[in-house]
Amino acid sequence: MPLSRYCLALAAAAGLCTATNLYVASYDGNITTLDLTSSNGSYSLKATYKNDGCAPNPSWLNLDQPRGILYCADEGLSVTNGTLSSFSVASDGKLSLVHKQNTISGPVSSGSAVSSFTLAANGSFSFLQDETFKLAKPGPNAARQDAPHEHEAILDPTGQFLLVPDLGADLVRVFSTDSSLKATALTPLTVAPGSGPRHAVFWTPDGVTGGTSPTFLYVVAELGQTVTGYSVSYPSSGGLAFKQVYTSKTYGSGSEPAGTAPAEITISPDNRFLLISNRNDTAFNIDSPSGGSEKSDSISTFKLNRDGSLSFTQLWPAGGSYPRQFSINKYGDLVAVGLQLSARVSILSRDVETGKLGEAVASITVPGNITCVVWDE
């Protein structure tokens, strides 16, 4: 753990003070480094550096912690192309741009693609492949499903398959990779029409794969406001096979306000709970940092059951408006929430035994629409 400039040396030596860096992406063009210092049980959160190397519109961060390389995807909201950039991370959290290159067009002209790059250990990378997709006709929600909208790329637990939720096509696309690292499209998972799958996460209850150990996939659907669980198997004929074992609203059995747009889905580090952020449900009033009260969207917590079903556990204020993405720290006692329309990062406390979220221990305004926040531990 890096020693913060805000930790007094003596307090740190006595184990009273610890510090962690976080990186925050904002549509204003910056990646901001935050220093979260905990001293004798109270937290302070400060912005220490800004880097605009991922401009104009940073929208996702991926930290290769062992190598000290941070990758940033830029959506290029009002320009022709997106970009991918990489940064080396100094021990104090300062970022230095290593490499940046254009990618296929961003949302403006709907790139509708999965792009791959080969990475070098020093942070440089080179373009490998674009896979582009088309829709024969718009989906049931014509305004949002006018074209394929690839939303993220995740690996299965064996590392052999790449899965890409496509909000526009109501598919989770599946690819295998071969020794040339090229992605080959396989039979996708077809989800409920009009549900708009956005993000997904794998769960292995035993923490291992293969043999008789079960594997599950949970997909959060933005338009349908649902979470759906699938049991995943690996047929000898190749590819992945899916069997639906669970579905509910992201509130559990209850319905949720019209306009709620679930976004992020994550499993807690102890492998026992699943968390989903609900944007635009305005389910709570919270104390506003600037005084008075403020509407807050929510985060849902579910307990994961061995048969793949979920038990709804808690709905809790996310700390502001539009929790587009959030990250849990390694120990599981803190959740950093990127609140897009509040221009804020909130650090919520979390009870590692019950899995329930608690009050914010710190929060900070970061200019622009916050799109992503990751821990550097």
Contact residues: ligand NAG, CB under 6 A: 27-30, 40-41, 50, 52, 55, 77, 80-81, 102-105, 109, 120, 122, 124, 257-259, 261, 280, 341, 367, 369
Helices (H), the chain: 9-13
Question: How many residues comprise the chain?
Answer: 377
Taking the complex as a whole, how short is the minimal distance between the CB of residue 64 and ligand NAG, in angstroms? 14
What's the token pair of residue 243?
């069997």
Taking the complex as a whole, how short is the minimal distance between the CB of residue 104 and ligand NAG, in angstroms? 4
Query: Angle 173-106-218 (CA atoms, 0-180°, nearest 5)?
Result: 30
Contact at 8 Å (CB) between 289 and 335? no
Minimum CB distance to ligand NAG smaller for 55 or for 310: 55
Amino acid letter, residue 210 = G
Taking the complex as a whole, how short is the minimal distance between the CB of residue 129 and ligand NAG, in angstroms? 11
SS3 track for 289-305: CCCCEEEECEEEEEEEC
Phi, psi of 297 (to 5 degrees): -80, -175
Taking the complex as a whole, how short is the minimal distance between the CB of residue 246 and ligand NAG, in angstroms? 26
Contact at 8 Å (CB) between 99 and 125? yes
Minimum CB distance to ligand NAG smaller for 81 or for 271: 81
Tell me the sheet residues that pair with 315. Answer: 300
Taking the complex as a whole, how short is the minimal distance between the CB of residue 84 and ligand NAG, in angstroms? 10
Contact at 8 Å (CB) between 196 and 260? no
Closest-by-Cβ residue to ligand NAG is 259
Contact at 8 Å (CB) between 58 and 73? yes
Minimum CB distance to ligand NAG smaller for 55 or for 374: 55
Strand bridging mode 334-339 / 125-132? unpaired
Minimum CB distance to ligand NAG smaller for 65 or for 80: 80
Minimum CB distance to ligand NAG smaller for 210 or for 257: 257
Q: Can you say whether residue 368 is alpha, beta or left, with left for phi > 0 and alpha for psi between -120 and 50 degrees? A: left
Taking the complex as a whole, how short is the minimal distance between the CB of residue 360 and ligand NAG, in angstroms? 18
Minimum CB distance to ligand NAG smaller for 143 or for 212: 143
Map residue 72 onto helix, strand or coil: strand
Minimum CB distance to ligand NAG smaller for 17 or for 200: 17
Question: Which residue is it, tokens 């608690």?
Answer: 358
Minimum CB distance to ligand NAG smaller for 238 or for 259: 259
Minimum CB distance to ligand NAG smaller for 76 or for 197: 76
Nearest to 370 by CA among 317, 319, 324: 324
What's the token pair of residue 51?
């880097």
Minimum CB distance to ligand NAG smaller for 25 or for 261: 261
Question: Which residue is it, tokens 């403020």?
Answer: 294
Q: What is the Cα–Cα distance from 19 to 1, expressed in whole angstroms?
A: 7
Taking the complex as a whole, how short is the minimal distance between the CB of residue 122 and ligand NAG, in angstroms? 4
Tell me the sheet residues that pair with 232. Answer: 242
Contact at 8 Å (CB) between 176 and 187? no
Taking the complex as a whole, how short is the minimal distance between the CB of residue 175 and ligand NAG, in angstroms? 19
Amino acid letter, residue 224 = G
Taking the complex as a whole, how short is the minimal distance between the CB of residue 325 and ligand NAG, in angstroms? 14
Taking the complex as a whole, how short is the minimal distance between the CB of residue 366 and ligand NAG, in angstroms? 9
